[in-house]
Structure 1
Amino acid sequence: MEMFVAVKFVIFIGALASLSDAFQTCPGHKHYEELKCTPIRDKPDDKCPSRYECPDFKALDRSVCHLNGKKYNIGNNVSTSLPTCTKSCSCDGAEDEFGFSCEFDECAEAKDKPKLHCAYQFTIDSCCSTNTVCDKDEIDKLHRCWHNGHQFVEGNLIYPTNAPCYKCLCDKNYDNNTDVSESKSCKPVDCGIELHQLNYLQLGCIPVYFDDGLCCPFEFKCPIETDLIEEIGVKSEHVCKYADRSLNIGDKIKTADQCLECSCEVPPMAQCIRTITTEKCH
Structure 2
Amino acid sequence: MKAVFYLVLLGLGGVVTDLAGECDMAGFYLELGCSAVPKTDNSTICPDAFQCPDLHPDPTKCYYKGVPYKDRSNIPQNIINNPCSQACSCQVSGGPRFECAAVDCVETFDVDLQQQCISTYDLESCCSTGTVCGTDAIAALKTCEVDGKTYRVGEAFEPKNTRKTCICTGEWNGSTEGAYCRDISCGLEIHYQDMVAQNCAPVFVRNTRSCPIAFQCPSPTSKVVRGLNRRGVNSECSFGNMTLSVGDEVTVGETCMRCSCEVPPFVTCTKQVTCDN
Measured against the shorter chain, the TM-score band is 0.7 to 0.9
Give the residue type in structure 2 aligned to 1:63: T
Match of 1:247? 244
Preserved CA contact (<8 Å) 2:189 2:196: no
Q: Secondary structure at the match of 2:20?
A: helix
Could you say which structure has the greater relative contact order, defined with CA pairs below 8 angstroms and 6 or more residues apart?
A: 1
Preserved CA contact (<8 Å) 1:79 1:87: no
Q: How does 1:99-178 map to 2 (within 5 A)?
A: 99-115=97-113, 116-134=115-133, 136-160=135-159, 162-163=160-161, 165-176=163-174, 178=175
Preserved CA contact (<8 Å) 2:219 2:252: no
1:37-66 CA-to-partner distances (Å, cap 9, x unmatched) read 1012413572210111111235x1111111
Preserved CA contact (<8 Å) 1:164 1:215: no
Match of 2:205? 210
Q: Aligned partners of 1:192, 1:173: CA distance in 2, in Å?
A: 29
Shift of the alpha carbon at 1:149? 3.0
1:96-140 CA-to-partner distances (Å, cap 9, x unmatched) read x11001113222222334333323211112111212222555434
Preserved CA contact (<8 Å) 1:208 1:217: yes
Q: Secondary structure at the match of 1:89?
A: strand
Match of 1:220? 215
Shift of the alpha carbon at 1:268? 1.6
Shift of the alpha carbon at 1:209? 1.2
Task: Compute the RMSD of aligned alpha carbons.
Answer: 2.3
Q: Aligned partners of 1:40, 1:214: CA distance in 2, in Å?
A: 18
Match of 1:14? none
Stretches of structure 2 lacking an aligned partner (at least 5 in a row): 1-5, 9-17
Stretches of structure 1 lacking an aligned partner (at least 5 in a row): 1-17
Preserved CA contact (<8 Å) 2:165 2:183: yes
TM-score (norm 1): 0.82
Match of 2:194? 199
Percent of aligned positions that are identical: 28
Q: Aligned partners of 1:233, 1:214: CA distance in 2, in Å?
A: 23
